[in-house]
Copies of this chain bind each other. A is one copy, B any other.
C-alpha cells in the first residue's frame, strides 16, 4: 500500500516497552488509532529483525495499517514492508528509491532547515521532523526544533511532515497547529500502562484538529 495516513505513527522501541513484546504494543496501539507503524530495532541480529518484521507485516495487513522499517532496506525487502524510514546516516535516498521502487513509501528524517532544503529536492513520501521536544528516547539529540522549528520547516517543505520527539496528548494540538501533517510517538504509547488508551487519546486530538482546525 503506497497511500498512507500519517495521523498517528507508532515508532517501536523494545527498551521502552516495559518487557512487553512488540507485537502486543503494536496491536494495542493500532486498536487505539495508530495509522502507521515503524519497526525500529538497533540491537538485534538480522535474522531476528527479519522475523519480527514478517510477523508484524502479517498482523498489520489485517488492520490495513502500513509497516515501515527503520534504516534497513534488506529487512524491508525481506518482509515486503510497505515502506522504509531513513535517517541522515542511513542509505542515501536516491539509492534506496532505485532499489525499493516507487510503489513503496520512503520517509526521511529532517533535523534542521538545511536538511529540509535538501529534502525538497527529493521525491520522498514524507519527512520526519525530529526532535520536536527533547526526550529520553534519543538523549544525544539536544537541539530540539520546538514548535517554532516545526512552523518554520513545515511552511517551507513541500512534503508531508510527521513530527516526532516528546509528543503526547497534552501537546498534540500545538504540534499540529505548528504545521505537522501527523504525529509520531515512541514512549507515550510504548511505555504507557494501557497502550491502546494512550494511542486513542492522541488520535482523538488529531481527529479533533482535523475536524475543527484546533
Contact = CB atoms under 8 A, between A and B. Distances in A.
Interface of A: 45-48, 50, 71-75, 77-78, 88-92, 95-96, 99
A94 to B, nearest CB: 10
Copies in the complex: 2
Given A74-B74, A77-B73, A89 B47 contact: yes
Contact of A95 (B45, B78, B92): B78
Contacts of A99: 74, 77-78
Given A78-B99, A99-B78, A71 B92 contact: no
Contact of A78 (B45, B78, B89, B91): B91
Contacts of A88: 47
Contacts of A91: 46-47, 50, 74, 78
B95 A50 contact: yes
17 contacts: A45-B90, A46-B71, A46-B91, A47-B89, A47-B92, A48-B89, A50-B91, A50-B95, A73-B77, A73-B78, A74-B75, A74-B91, A74-B99, A77-B99, A78-B91, A78-B95, A78-B99
Nearest to A77: B99
A109 to B, nearest CB: 12
A36 B90 CA distance: 27
User: 6 closest pairs, A vs B, by CB?
Assistant: A73-B74, A74-B74, A45-B89, A46-B90, A78-B95, A47-B89
B92 A50 contact: yes
Contacts of A74: 72-75, 77, 91, 99
A198 to B, nearest CB: 31
A89 B48 CA distance: 8
